[in-house]
Structure 1
């Protein structure tokens, strides 16, 4: 496809840092966020020639010469504009079309003008629509954020966007090609693509509107839609939020990559302002290279559900071919099937940053995916791992990085197999016992068996917790029935239950249970002090409360997602935070 000069320059700056390109001609020295050199266009001893990779420009403070890559080549090599442009284009493997350049620029500018005009219309209608404003308010999107992201609203069917655009001098062809209107096949009428939707303008890397995203505020089955791909808008060529967050990204040298525009805006509202969105679950070469121009390790944070995790795995494999020394990515895994928007609303900036600190390196993420489907330590499995490791390292075009991945993954494999084979050998007898008919469930339901053992052998201690124990529901239904019978026996006894009577009761009701619980007592708490036994029991009870807490939290999360009134929303968020804190506290302890 033929490209204009502007498009060639934009693609050049996305693929190659200006400083890297100029190093073949002059010696550059890093200084802050830029580079300096002695100017090649006049004699000087002190460097006054400055290069900015962010802007794709150079400037000499001594002689006043400045410009882009084309300007430099033209002056340095004494080439014509056409030859300079050809040289730049050849560096990124694209063709040029100078003959029709001016004509294409005029057509292109008219299309940009149309999209800007449409955005002004959408912004004006947002201020008149209380439903759209209420929706944004419930998502904590205030007036400043609305203005920052130029958020708008496209009215419903009675509004004729095409007529509005025609009245202001835009042609039928430009309007149809913009993707803003759709022609109904059945009724042959024209309607706006973003009817009754909140609109989010999408900017290219030159900060020009190239399309829109739309979020329904009605009962449409399709929540989100984007402009169709066309002459201006190509989803894989843009990063939503880069325009708004560029300064913070430069300052922090950090980029967090999410899926959607509301993820970007919600995180921005919570003072996390280094975020961009791919507007989907893919990550193109252009997007990868653009993020690497700002940071060596962008962080990918897609949704925490199965689809999001699969997408991150696909991205991990795709990125391998583009890896260079010092350039990689990290993966931030959100819990409980949450997306960045929901997570930060429920848990806040601090919790988000804590998970960000635990982001997984690409190499470790790849390794985890390699072994997650298999728990097999045979020679055949070892050979299979070797084959997969070769395939993965073979995807990396850079030979140095490829060799390092091969060594890293093989070392991981050797350590993994050694540790697991050693573990298997040391625990072989234990596993055989656990797999026997009587004991096969003990390992899976450790806390439940421990509590049962306490009920039988530590009646004095458990008596203080008997009401709480009575409310606990075991995952093991058979064991839960046994627990209920034992608790009822204890509660219904008028006087202190004699151990001999209790033992007789157990033998009558549950054959072999006493022996099983006796082994658990001897292995876990027989030799503990009274105070230690008390603390241990509290931990067991807390651990057994987790399923109920998770269920309660899920119910609250669903209520929050429904966007209730502001006071109710705040109450639910506090309740969710309290339960989450309790769950996290319990999970940090070990039995």
Structure 2
């Protein structure tokens, strides 16, 4: 029985692997406008014709025609199978590739998504039936429109309200437990609802699927917030609240980072729809990689108390280490964004955005308040901590400018600071950990010919031998059907499985002709994506004759 891997796991692995870094670890790449270029590893050449697009997360060689996504590259470069390539990329980002039998009929991921959707409907209906909850939201300035936009709901003060509702929908308690919606009692074999007497905030992924929930108490009891635990479709450190909406505004305005659901909602209804929040944890590398797909500019809008400022320092350094621009907002009287915009309004918050502190300015502000710079000990502590932070700056010129500012501020020679900095860098290299990278989801639009080819292979399994003999393994590019295709291609059939399985109204040659036609159309679809990438580049290089020639060649190949 063949092994396969669920399409959602493929998404997760690709989402954390940046194609530029994956390929850059194996061949030399140089920046070339919006893309990267290098000598193609698949044929001999003296002039680089191999291009990698970080935006589209694909590569293409205009010399030999090789192209695809990160999986395709590893397959071709290392001569690995589809599964082996996934395992290679999974190892890079700490994800274990678990193989399952392709004969399994139920898609567990699909069940989890559907269950969460039904649970969200239940919570949403319960909200309108609870006056205390609706009054709480009204006092917090959350309108009916905002409740609808974010799908805000309420969980009754019952032990099994959700359990009974989902059981009526046909779901099993064990699946509810795996999905984090209910908890098994330690004292008995019974179950109870995880969320009780709380305002509920559904958490969506970037594809607008509900992957988990957050719940806030109406009073002051603790814990104030609880979130769904990690599940097959939910990982707190790899998702962000409201990124599904904020990504549409991020290219223009950047992304505003906050610490809570209410911060995001209040900012959004005041016109700052580009706000997101981490899910009860400090900002993670994986979250940064995910957001980096949508923006290179960030505003850290955390609480202005001591804990909030320390969290902002960590977030700023994490963003900077990933070559991202970041600025930090400060609020008076230790307020959080929700409190500030509620009291002072949209215009004042916009002023805070416009006057936010640049990376170094914020670190200087923070450390100047932490240490007594009138004492030698305070100056030394300031320098040591600042140098640790500046290790996150990848631009050498930028580092030197910051060190120059430190030198002038503290009246200490640049050479002395540089010596400390070099020692710090040596220590960093010695202990440096692996850093994860993200990639575009890469599933793309559904290709109808891929569906047709899969259906043809299922009905006529003997065609897999013909396809393997004529074509390379990486026929399917950047699509959710990859895993199923490789599973069918790797399958070994018995004689009785082949008998009677074919389309009896077609000859073997006709079936082969149909398969060839589908594969050519799938390939043409990939060529069109490459052509679009060239057109994007042509916008900034209108006189580039080589690009025009390459576009013409691709058009001829397609025709």
1:214 corresponds to 2:211: no
How far is the alpha carbon of 1:305 from its aligned partner? 2.1
Task: Please tell me whether residue 175 in structure 1 is matched to residue 176 in structure 2.
Answer: yes
CA deviations on 1:264-315 (whole Å, 9 max, x unpaired) are 1111111111000013361111112222222223111111223212322343
Shift of 1:204: 3.1
| Contact kept in structure 2, 1:89 and 1:96, CA below 8 Å | yes
Decide whether aligned partners of structure 1 residues 14 and 349 sit closer, same or farther in structure 2, where only a CA change above 3 A counts.
Answer: farther
CA RMSD, 1 decimal:
4.4
Cα distance in 2, alignment partners of residues 137 and 296 from structure 1: 35
Q: Name the counterpart of 2:142.
A: 141
How do 1:298-309 and structure 2 match up within 5 A? 298-309=298-309
* Separation of aligned partners in 2, 1:189 and 1:157: 14
Q: How far 1:185 moved relative to its partner?
A: 5.3
Higher helix proportion, which one?
A: 1
Q: 3-state SS of the aligned residue for 1:267?
A: helix
Asked whether the equivalents of residues 371 and 382 of structure 2 are also in contact (C-alpha less than 8 Å), the reply is no
Match of 1:203 in 2: 204
Contact 1:10–1:205, Cα closer than 8 Å, also in 2: no
Q: 1:336 aligns with which of 333, 337, 341?
A: 333
For 1:413-562, what aligned pairs fall within 5 Å after superposition?
Answer: 413-418=406-411
For 2:384 and 2:290, how far apart are their aligned partners in 1?
Answer: 33
Q: 1:386 to 1:108 in 2, by over 3 A?
A: same
1:358 correspondence with 2:355? yes
C-alpha separation in 2, matches of 1:77 and 1:187: 52
Contact 2:238-2:290 within 8 A present in 1 as well: no
Q: Is the 8 A contact 1:267 1:341 kept in 2?
A: yes
| Mapped contact 1:389–1:410 kept (Cα < 8 A) | no
Task: Give the C-alpha shift of residue 8 in structure 1.
Answer: 5.2
Q: Which runs of 5+ in 1 are unaligned?
A: 42-46, 420-591
Call closer, same or farther: CA 1:102–1:328 in 2, change over 3 Å. farther
Asked if 2 retains the 8 angstrom alpha-carbon contact of 1:281 and 1:302, the reply is: no
> CA separation in 2, counterparts of 1:22 and 1:83?
16
Q: Does the 8 Å CA contact 2:299/2:326 hold for their aligned counterparts?
A: yes
2:342 equivalent in structure 1: 345
Tell whether the 8 Å contact from 1:4 to 1:105 is kept in structure 2 after alignment.
no
Tell me, yes or no, if structure 1 residue 287 matches structure 2 residue 287.
Answer: yes
Length-normalised TM-score, structure 2:
0.60
Instruction: Report if the CA contact (8 A) 1:73-1:79 is conserved.
Output: yes
Alignment of 1:226-265 (within 5 A): 226-252=227-253, 254-265=254-265
Instruction: State the partner residue of 1:157.
Output: 158
Contact 1:377 1:417 in 2 (8 A): no
Q: State the Cα deviation string for residues 236-256 of structure 1 (Å, max 9, x = none).
A: 11100001222112343x000
Separation of aligned partners in 1, 2:6 and 2:387: 42
Q: 1:380 to 1:52 in 2, by over 3 A?
A: closer
Structure 1 residues 183, 127: CA separation in 2 closer, same or farther (over 3 Å shift)? same
Distance (whole Å) between structure 2 residues aligned to residue 301 and residue 149 of structure 1: 20
Q: 2-side partners of 1:111 and 1:161: how far apart?
A: 15
CA contact (8 A) 2:255 2:295 kept: yes
User: What SS does structure 1 have at the residue aligned with 2:257?
Assistant: strand
Q: Mark the structure with the bigger radius of gyration.
A: 1
Q: Does 1:311 align with 2:308?
A: no
Structure 2 Cα separation of the partners of residues 279 and 376 of structure 1: 36
Q: Which residue of 1 aligns with 2:275?
A: 275
8 Å CA contact retained: 2:158, 2:196: yes
| Pairwise CA distance, 1:207 | 3.4
| Alpha-carbon distance between aligned partners in 2 of 1:227 and 1:161, rounded to the nearest angstrom | 14
Equivalent residue for 2:130?
129
Distance 1:4 1:207 in 2: 22
Q: 2:109 and 2:219 mapped to 1: Cα distance?
A: 34
Q: How does 1:69-148 map to 2 (within 5 A)?
A: 69-70=70-71, 80-86=81-87, 88-89=89-90, 92=93, 94-99=95-100, 106-148=107-149
Compute the displacement of 1:370 (Å).
Answer: 2.8
Whether contact under 8 Å (2:237, 2:281) holds in the other structure is: no
Query: d(CA) in 1 for partners of 2:264 and 2:202?
Result: 13
Mapped to 1, the partners of 2:60 and 2:374 lie a distance apart of 61
- The equivalent residue for 1:534 is none
Change (3 A) 1:25 1:403: closer
Give, in angstroms, the shift of residue 16 of structure 1: 4.2
Distance 1:163 1:341 in 2: 36
| Higher mean C-alpha deviation, range 360-369 or range 70-79 | 70-79
Q: Which residue in the other structure is 2:167 paired with?
A: 166
Name the SS for the 1:287 alignment partner: helix
Partner of 2:436: none
Distance 1:118 1:25, change over 3 A: farther
Deviations 1:517-560, CA, capped at 9 Å, x for gaps: xxxxxxxxxxxxxxxxxxxxxxxxxxxxxxxxxxxxxxxxxxxx
TM (norm. structure 1) is 0.57
Alpha carbons of structure 1 residues 412 and 247: separation in structure 2 relative to 1, 3 Å? same
- SS of residue matched to 2:334: coil
* Greater relative CO (CA pairs within 8 A, separation 6+): 2
Report the CA distance between 1:19 and its aligned residue: 6.2
Q: Distance in 1 between matches of 2:316 and 2:127?
A: 39
Deviations along 1:454-504, one digit per CA (max 9) or x if unpaired, are xxxxxxxxxxxxxxxxxxxxxxxxxxxxxxxxxxxxxxxxxxxxxxxxxxx
